[in-house]
Amino acid sequence: MIVPLPPASAVAFADTRHGWVGSAHGLLGTSDGRTFRIETRSAIIGISAFDRARAWAISGDGFVLRTSDGRRWSRLGVPHLLRMQFVDALVGFGVTRDSVLVRSDDSGKSWRQARAPGPVRSECFTTRRDGWVARGGSVWTTHDGGQRWARARLGAGPQELPDLGCRNGDVWAVFHEGAAAGTEGYHVFRSLAGGSWRPVLASPFQRKLPSISNYAGPFSVLGRGGAVFTGSCAPCGSGTATLVRTRNGGASFTRSTRRGPPATAVDFLDNRRGWIVAGRRLLRTVDGGRHWRVP
């Protein structure tokens, strides 16, 4: 199963001063949170930041890029990754464009196929042992590095496209179900600290759960019940973009909406401080999305 590349935009911050932004035009880095320098001109589709010095990126031509000093990047292997994240300075996990779960044990120099319950569309690991993969309407969980997997059937069927996000022991899943009449079908589930799965958000097609907006966009998991979701509504006036936050695992949500293009990438450090890529701009908030400004 070959899956399409995500939009060529990404953002990842290690703290309020150190982070990276990727686009179709290259990779930018900052060490003061305000001014950015060009660090590579390769198109970027994903970034994983471990700390202010060590980070990895996926280029549009399939290379994995790595920095060990926060400024200079080198090209490593070519596993043609769709997504990737590192759980420590050595070990990372990813999914290739042909839906294979892979693992690196040497900071991204080499990659090998990891044990998985067949092809996977999305993955997320928080430690070398604890991780999740998804395909269709199901999510599998491992607590021994992929030796054994437990399946949870959450979605309606194999046509669904799942996205996973995790931090600490929390994992959130967004199942994209296709769009019609200017609105996307989607459901959002979460599992907190190894607990059972619970649906918390869904598209406006239904009335039982709150929605994000007409479309569900990228999201950021904070851990301890916290998560930030983005959404958009192109038919709403000149177009609106929505940010939906929870601090209690979806028991309640805080919503803010702005005019403008939807977010194509998002990264939050906590419930208040975060960044989005919207159109060609990087925007920063320090009050949970009520106000945005260019860094």
Phi first, then psi: give them for residue 88, nearest 5 degrees: -155, -170
Tell me how far apart the alpha carbons of residues 243 and 154 are, in angstroms, rounded to a whole number. Answer: 24
pTM here is 0.94
Give the pLDDT confidence of 172-229 residue by residue, as tens digits. Answer: 999 999 888 789 999 999 999 999 999 999 999 898 999 999 999 999 999 999 999 9
Domain spans, the chain: 1-84
Closest CA to 163 of 220, 222, 232, 113: 220
Contact predicate 177/191, CB 8 Å: no
Tokens for 186?
Answer: 């989607």
pLDDT in tens, 227-242: 999 999 987 766 899 9
